[in-house]
Structure 1
């Protein structure tokens, strides 16, 4: 009972704080802050965005950036309405959908039906969830209606981005001189090995001679193990990536072991075939066009600010 009393007190205090804040500002949740091409920005939604930006934005820039962010969101929502994906763009209607969604999830829990995501959404979580879903549906709609392109154009785009997006990793055959340094004598032994290499002795033989039980002096880095090696031995991995065939690295240390590595052979990985990545190329194209269109619409949008209400918003 004591714990319950504390919880109730906390709720009352929080509730009183919210009430006091609204009384001080004179604004209610549905109070109009601005309109973007006629689409309302309500006080409660504006406050939600302010809270999201508060930790990363200087106070003097907070109101401006919140309005800018909401302008882009309202532009996207208006575009979605044009495509028939949403009817009511007011935040009040979103709050109703939030309540309905949580009621639906409550009912599913009572009936022991599976649900995806949280059992209940908080306001911010539902806002992000609904906006994310709306963007996915809008991109799907415009990809079918506005941004359909031929395979020839897709192939041209594939050629333009394949180096950055679709290059397969090379297969690198590595030889390594690896000398543990736990006993404090590793540096001396590595200097001996380095001197032998400098005098032209065979790298492979030296690598074998310093290997424990004659093992572990070879390593093949390829597509299947590249991620694992990059995580377990990131320095060695980076050194290997730098080396053309026939070249060796300087001495470096990782995980208490001194290394010199040599690229014995390197096979080009090539590129993912166009037919296998065509959908990804199309997705990149739609994403690019989508961002351009949102930017264009945002720049062209007419924002009407209710200055008296905006001035009442307190930044604390």
Structure 2
């Protein structure tokens, strides 16, 4: 089933609007949230932390069923099977998998002395400590970064991200240690995708501003007229005309707007400037617009102008050297090795699920 961009956007808006109305419930008597739903290597997963993670999965699961099966959220959505797949069970499995992975990471961090406990209460205690620290800083008129008080989701993301970075650094000294030869082999695998230098590109450019004044105000009728003129130039260029010839044919002496013709260079020294100030142009050139090829009419909104470019010459610039890239090669290697190492520990983990409690938790 195909979906138009408009339908996908509408679906996203719908998902965001209905998530607030979805609640989780558990028919487990007077459950305080501390009931165990599973054990991972002896570490408890409580119903409270499971439901917290389950809530995070709701939006992505609704979107997954819409994108993959064309199923829109509605009545009995969570209870219904769609081609043998059930939304509630999908959300619960994703939540459990995510918590198991987190528990393994916390267990690793505890083993290496980075934290003192792996329970949900331990994490909430750390959040409380951080929020108290932030309040104390505010009272002392000291700077803080981010909100005065972190909610659970924001804190967990920041805390786990920092902890993961520490873990990778620690594990790289032993479990994830890598030799120079292995790093060089990894560099060879990565260099085409990560370490290519900017091509040296010489290109011709026609541009015309549609801004009315320094305040960046735009006259829409003028903008439409400019777009028509640029479309006409594009047609001439596609027919084999040179850029200066096309401008001469279509630029009248009494035009209210002036077409500019320039010849410019994109290379490692100028790439940063183009990337920041002319992102659309940069993307078109960087994505291998060939020699003598002409772009479509580009709307550079940051500059407030329409642009056409034609590549005159393109020269490959090779790769950043291994020595220049070594830190990034190492980081990519460790990121990959860390993920593989976690997958191995997860496969080996002893996971016991309390099926009775697990089945009683529902999305509603």
User: TM-score scaled by structure 1?
Assistant: 0.78
Q: Take 1:132 and 1:72, find their aligned partners in 2: how far apart are those partners? A: 14
Q: Which moved more, 1:74-83 or 1:124-133?
A: 124-133
Equivalent runs, 1:196-207 vs 2, <5 Å: 197=241, 203=242, 206=245
Partner SS for 2:169: helix
Shift of 1:312: 2.7
Equivalent runs, 1:127-142 vs 2, <5 Å: 127-142=156-171
> Is 1:73 the counterpart of 2:118 in the alignment?
no
Q: Take 2:129 and 2:232, find their aligned partners in 1: how far apart are those partners? A: 72
5+ residue gaps in structure 1?
Answer: 1-17, 198-202
Q: Which moved more, 1:213-222 or 1:78-87?
A: 213-222
Shift of 1:32: 0.9
Q: Which moved more, 1:269-278 or 1:280-289?
A: 269-278
The 1:90/1:267 distance shift into structure 2, 3 A limit, reads: same
Shift of 1:224: 4.1
> Is 1:64 the counterpart of 2:112 in the alignment?
no
Q: Deviations over 1:21-80 (max 9, x none)?
A: 678753112211110111110122111101111111232322222111111111111122
> Is 1:295 the counterpart of 2:343 in the alignment?
yes
Instruction: Please point out which of 225, 239, 244 is paired with 1:182.
Output: 225
Corresponding residue for 2:328?
280
Shift of 1:286: 0.6
Corresponding residue for 1:311?
359
5+ residue gaps in structure 2?
Answer: 1-22, 62-86, 210-223, 252-257, 300-304
CA contact (8 A) 1:170 1:222 kept: yes
Partner SS for 1:252: coil
Shift of 1:306: 1.7
Q: Take 1:196 and 1:64, find their aligned partners in 2: how far apart are those partners? A: 59
The 1:63/1:216 distance shift into structure 2, 3 A limit, reads: same
Instruction: Please point out which of 35, 45, 58 is paired with 1:41.
Output: 45
User: TM-score scaled by structure 2?
Assistant: 0.68
Corresponding residue for 1:54?
58
Partner SS for 1:33: strand
Shift of 1:164: 0.5
Corresponding residue for 1:253?
297
Partner SS for 1:281: helix
Corresponding residue for 1:95?
124
Corresponding residue for 2:13?
none
Question: How large is the RMSD of aligned CA atoms in angstroms?
Answer: 3.4
Q: Take 1:293 and 1:188, find their aligned partners in 2: how far apart are those partners? A: 58
The 1:30/1:218 distance shift into structure 2, 3 A limit, reads: same
Larger Rg: 1
Aligned length in residues = 290
Corresponding residue for 1:223?
268
Shift of 1:108: 2.0
